[in-house]
Amino acid sequence: MPSRRRLLGLVAAGTLPFAGCLSAPSDADRTTTEPSTPSTTTEREPVRGGAAEASVERTITDEEYQYVESNDTVRYPATMAGDEVVEYDYEPFEEWGHIQGASVAAEYLRSLLDQRLPEAETLSVPVSSRGEQDGLRLVAALTTHLARDGDVLSEPSVSRNEVIRATPHTVDATIHFAGRTYTDRYPVYVEERTIQNE
């Protein structure tokens, strides 16, 4: 499992911002769709995806990462100022692989759900550490966004049951980097959230 310091640095509000050793979000993957205004979030109990497990395999070629064979670590950009790296840090390969694998798995899950539920435009796929003692999990999040007075600003275009049926129970991710291979299994949950502006 990633070190406590590293994980706390990556997990915010139960989700991993795709920074550091995780790829930057794009408009297409919609992994960071939280509103910028102050808000209150309520959630229903998450349930596991109901579809068969899925798997993805990817070779990591990003030049920002460097494998250090002498101590089996990966050097990654820890602090950025714009496009410039201010500080690098090192992480054991297994811990780096666990986080990188979660990023790859989340990106794959997002594309899989886009194919299976093309009408689900507001569905987001964050990575979470909540409820997983031994690592990270993926979340297919259905979010309803309310104004301060309770008016609905946006809501899911698909039902919770539709998402459960389309979402795999787990995603296995295998990554190859600098001649090393890491494989991990990430449980997948479906979660409903209501966010209300304060």
Average pLDDT over residues 3-21: 39
Alpha-helical segments (H) within 72-121 = 93-116
Q: What is the pLDDT of residue 179?
A: 96
Could you read off the pLDDT of 140-175 as tens digits, one per residue? Answer: 999 998 998 989 888 888 999 999 999 999 999 999
User: What does the block give as tokens for 3?
Assistant: 């070190």
Q: pLDDT per residue over 39-87, tens digit each?
A: 777 777 899 999 999 999 999 999 999 999 999 999 999 999 998 999 9
Q: What is the pLDDT of residue 99?
A: 95
Q: Which of 100, 165, 174, 110 is nearest to 135 (CA)?
A: 100
| Residue partners of 81: CB distance under 8 A and separation at least 6 | none
The pLDDT of residue 20 is above 80? no
